[in-house]
Amino acid sequence: MERLIVSAFENKGYIYGIHKDSCLINEIIKCIQDVANVEDLSLLHKTVSRDDINEIRILSFEKLNNIPNIIERLYGSVSESLLSLMGNDILGQNRLNLSIQMPNDVNSQLNLHTDTISGQSEYEVVLWTPLTRAYQSNSIYIFEKDLSFDIYANLSKYERIGNTGLYERFKDKAQFIEVEPPNYLMFSSTLLHGNVINHTNSTRVSFNYRYKPTYSKKEINVPNERKFGTFYVPVSLSPITKLVMDYKEPSNFK
């Protein structure tokens, strides 16, 4: 199993998996259903207007992040993949992010980008979990590793056409992800991805979350808040890391 995960990741830069803790995924779905007062999240657009969706998103975000031990449980749910990809010294994002993509909503569109482009660590993986069936234009698209790396390395050539123009140029290579709960997608933060206007008749709800190895290079170009202690919290620490956290060098020599 581990070899399969590693080889898929090495080839494409992303893998699929199934959440071990499907109860957690159901709890998250239930939490949003309660906030939005709907039974079927894919039909959210039937009862909630586009003007009100942000409020539902914010309320749901707060509620799902208050599910007891959610960070620990989420790690337990995907730890097999993480162990294969980055070992057992792992930091995770302090909160889960929630996305809601209603049909024909132009305001929720996220242009072609990589997470690293805005200063996230290149050692990071993104856990993307649909809470409704994700397919065609209601899903996200992703560019495989080789193409992503090639475009990224030559990004300055595409500056004037912008991210939208860049997507237009390469859109025939975009892989639209087809996945449904309790499955997930895990991809490298270095991969180009984004979404388009949802032309299906189904709302897509998903959450995303990030993991990176405890020992990964610091982003020095971007003095942002994405650091261990603010953006990242420990989700799995090795015995040696725990030991070093308690260890102090002597410093009071006079």
Partner 1 sequence: MKYGTYVFTRPFGNFSIPVPFQNTILRDYFRAISLPYSLPEVEHKFDNCYMSLFTLMEKMERKSTIYMVSLEMLPSNKKYNEISKIAVSNEISFFGVLEKRALKTTSDFLNYIKIRRFCDDNNE
Please report, as ranges, the residues that interact with partner 1 according to CB under 8 A.
51, 54, 107-108, 110-111, 113, 116-119, 155-156, 158-165, 219, 221-225
Residue nearer to partner 1 on the CB measure, 152 or 176: 152
* Token digits of residue 168: 């237009």
Residue nearer to partner 1 on the CB measure, 75 or 143: 143
Residue 247 beta carbon to partner 1: minimum distance, rounded to whole angstroms = 31
Cα 19 to Cα 77: distance, rounded to the nearest angstrom: 5
Cα 149 to Cα 10: distance, rounded to the nearest angstrom: 13
Report whether 204 contacts 132 (CB < 8 A). yes
Residue 37 beta carbon to partner 1: minimum distance, rounded to whole angstroms = 23
Count CB neighbours of 234 within 10 A. Answer: 16
Residue nearer to partner 1 on the CB measure, 120 or 236: 120
Residue 235's nearest CA partner among 20, 119, 73, 84 is 73
Residue nearer to partner 1 on the CB measure, 4 or 155: 155
Q: What one-character-per-residue DSSP string does 14-42 give?
A: EEEEE-S-HHHHHHHHHHHHHHHT-S-GG
Residue 149 beta carbon to partner 1: minimum distance, rounded to whole angstroms = 16
Residue 76 beta carbon to partner 1: minimum distance, rounded to whole angstroms = 28
Residue nearer to partner 1 on the CB measure, 24 or 53: 53
Residue 144 beta carbon to partner 1: minimum distance, rounded to whole angstroms = 21
Residues 6+ apart with CB under 8 A from 122: 116, 188, 189, 190, 217
